[in-house]
Amino acid sequence: MSGSLEYGVSLYSYTGEYGVTMTLDDCIEDVADLGATGLEILGEAHIEDYPNPPTAWLDAWFERLDRFGLTPTCYGSWVDHRRFPGRDITEDEAVQQLETDIRLAARLGFKYVRPKLGVVTADLEPHPVWEPATLRVLDLAEQQDVIICPEIHWPSVIRSKVVDDYIALIERTGTKHFGLLMDTGVFQTSMHHRSGGVPSRMGRGSARPPITPVVPVSDLEDVLQHVVHVQAKFYEIDDELQDHYIPWAEFLEVLVRRGWSGFLSSEYEGDYATGRAADQLRRQHALLRTLVAKETS
């Protein structure tokens, strides 16, 4: 099978500097400078006057894309079930939020919308409103030609109720506008503890948070047909261009062998310091490109 892997960056990678030492323009220019072609954003964080950006901002957005040859990939949406004090979000309110972000994402040229819903379990099972709300916006997603893709994010594991429920929706509806976003942090083999972060532990077998099992990359084979986008989560690439947390060689071998096509959208979540994200992103892209070249040679 043949596939095509492309390289992008999530602007979440610049969290430590965005709005402090870097503007949106600075971040986008850095993405283009490192040779990436895909651009992922968070709607509320990166769009001026969200959800109603002014015309001047929209014009500047498309001008940047053209100037740097960038493709909008994934738009991050936040559906907060605790948005209103004292009560959970209603189904209608969740639908309204999803509709707002689907329309805005499509307007900005994005193919994928990642809805981040509030969770109700330690292994990130989403609030029950996710399913009825998603079903009600599938027609709009089709009309706007976007794919809704919830994130499989550590400490969720692939073989879990969370993932089973997502796949069941796909199989039951036959929709082409709902898929999975695979965050590679799921496959971390050891914990990276960012300065000031919350300590977590990892284990084996049937462990559950706060001790989460190491997920074998082979589990990816079970769900890859439903994966539409990859957030290439990473924490640290050392001076020898080695990653001691994410098993990239194994992960990329599966993608290449199975002929998967799509973007590897880098998401840096390591230590924050001035210039660190830019440096780490370049290291990761060098590592990824080297490994993919080996797999495809």
Task: Locate 252 and state its tokens.
Answer: 């990329």
Task: Locate 48 and state its tokens.
Answer: 């001026």
Which residue stretches of the chain are H helix?
Answer: 24-33, 43-46, 55-68, 91-107, 130-144, 161-173, 220-223, 248-258, 276-296
- Listing from the earlier edge strand, what are the strands of the sheet with 112-117? 147-148, 112-117, 71-79, 38-42, 5-10, 262-268, 227-234, 180-183, 151-152
Q: Considering all CA atoms of the chain, what is the largest pairwise distance in Å, rounded to the nearest integer?
A: 58
**53 preceded by a cis bond (ω within 30 of 0):** no
Residue that is written with structure tokens 């969370």 in the block: 162
- Report the 10 Å Cβ neighbour count for 279: 13
What's the CA gap between 163 and 206, in Å, rounded?
16
Active site residues: 153
